[in-house]
Amino acid sequence: MTDRKPPGVTFESWVDRQIREAAERGEFDDLPGAGKPLAHENRPYHEMWWIREKLEREGLSSLPPSLVLRNELHEALDAARLAPTEALLRTRLAEVNARIDAALRRPIDGPPLGVAPVDVEAAVAEWRRARPS
């Protein structure tokens, strides 16, 4: 912990002296990210940038659970269309259907869910039609 600013010393010179002394002691050596470019330096500035970074780092979402589930459904459908095997297609759709069923039985926070479980057999038939013979 640093000392309080002594009376009669300008704030700037007091801070500059503390930084210089810390640098001389090597307290700024081997900091995480040293020598690397700043993360997200090409993004437009946002005043809550640190919250966005924490959400990304922690794998959290700022969306309500019902909207997260809608996004998961769309991602699962996209992934299912690209599934290399029918078994993987069925597994992916079964997982998202289980989450949708749970949300319909016990409503989750956010706007209305507005989705129903995926018809797996119809999705499999579409997947088969889209595959080259």
Residue 7 belongs to some domain of the structure: no
The model's pLDDT over 12-52, given as tens digits with 9 standing for 90+, comes to 677 888 898 999 999 988 888 888 887 777 878 888 888 88
Reading the block at residue 107, the tokens are 């409503």
pLDDT over threshold 70, residue 133? no
Q: What confidence tier does 64 reach under pLDDT thresholds 50, 70, 90?
A: confident
Residue 16 belongs to some domain of the structure: no
Mean per-residue pLDDT over the chain, rounded: 86
Q: Phi first, then psi: what are they for 73, rounded to 5°?
A: -60, -45
Residue 58 belongs to some domain of the structure: no
Q: How many domains does the chain have?
A: 1
C-alpha to C-alpha distance for 40 and 54, rounded to whole angstroms:
13
Domain interval for residue 94: 65-130
Residue 30 belongs to some domain of the structure: no
Nearest to 43 by CA among 53, 57, 35: 53
Higher pLDDT, 118 or 9: 118
Residue 27 belongs to some domain of the structure: no
The model's pLDDT over 68-105, given as tens digits with 9 standing for 90+, comes to 899 889 998 888 888 899 999 999 999 999 999 999 99
Residue 5 belongs to some domain of the structure: no
Residue 79 belongs to some domain of the structure: yes
Sign, Cα dihedral of 19, 20, 21, 22: positive
Residue 6 belongs to some domain of the structure: no
- CA–CA distances in Å: residue 2 to residues 11, 13, 19, 30: 13, 14, 11, 21
Sign, Cα dihedral of 31, 33, 36, 37: negative
